[in-house]
């Protein structure tokens, strides 16, 4: 493993200390878990963004919900359920 040194606010440090004590975990463990979770979610967001860019670049036809409902004959159903 590689070491990492960071500076955090006193308030964040207090929260980290309380959380570590409450969970009976080390501060390093909590920071590592938080960082792993954040980076995993960030990677998923980046992948979603890239997927969306690719789809938009394909310039496929799109239809609104209203158009689909009308095409499928559900326009009366939508009016009754709004």
Q: Is residue 3 part of a domain?
A: no
Ordered per-residue pLDDT tens for the chain, 82 residues: 899 999 999 999 999 999 999 999 999 999 999 999 999 999 999 999 999 999 989 988 889 988 998 899 887 776 677 6
What pLDDT is recorded for position 78?
Answer: 63
What total number of domains does the chain contain?
Answer: 1
Q: Is residue 2 part of a domain?
A: no
Q: Is residue 50 part of a domain?
A: yes
Q: Mean pLDDT across the chain, nearest whole number? A: 93
SS (H, E, C) 4-56: CCCCCCHHHHHHHHHHHHHHCCCHHHHHHHHHHHHHHHHHHHHHHHHHHHHHH
Q: Is residue 40 part of a domain?
A: yes
Q: Is residue 64 part of a domain?
A: yes
Structural domain that includes position 33: 10-81
Q: Is residue 66 part of a domain?
A: yes
What pLDDT is recorded for position 61?
Answer: 87
Q: Is residue 56 part of a domain?
A: yes
Q: Is residue 1 part of a domain?
A: no
């Amino acid at each position: 493993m590689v070491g990492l040194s960071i500076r955090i606010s006193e308030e964040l440090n207090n929260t980290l200390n309380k959380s570590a004590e409450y969970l009976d975990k080390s501060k390093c463990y909590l920071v590592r878990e938080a960082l792993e979770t954040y980076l995993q979610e960030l990677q998923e967001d980046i992948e979603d963004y890239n997927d969306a860019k690719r789809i938009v670049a394909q310039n496929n036809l799109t239809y609104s919900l209203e158009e689909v409902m009308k095409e499928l004959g559900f326009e009366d159903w939508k009016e009754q359920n709004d």
